Amino acid sequence: MAETSPAPTAPVAEFEKSLDELEQLVQKMEKGDLSLDESLAAYERGVTLYRQCRGTLEQAELRVKLLSDLDDPESAIDFPLDAD
């Protein structure tokens, strides 16, 4: 039986899915073909997706900090936040 590569972990897979959906929403909104109601619904969904992605990134940052120094996680250097 041939070995297959392991499936991505759930948080990573969800992040990728949410990011892809967010990018699609942005493209639809930038076209300007949506009605006001559709635009509001897309914006609301986009905010939800953004928050999910941000939360996943924050959890990943925390994991990196903890993995950097298990004995003293407070000594880990914070990631610089992009202004974008």
Measure the CA–CA gap between 25 and 60, rounded to whole angstroms. Answer: 24
- Tell me the pTM: 0.67
Domain residue ranges in the chain: 36-67
In contact, 49 and 22? CB cutoff 8 Å: yes
**pLDDT tens readout for residues 64-76:** 877 777 677 667 6
* Backbone dihedral region for residue 5 (phi beyond 0: left; psi -120 to 50: alpha; all else: beta): beta
Give 22-79 pLDDT, tens digit per residue: 999 999 999 999 999 999 999 999 999 999 999 999 988 888 877 777 677 667 666 6
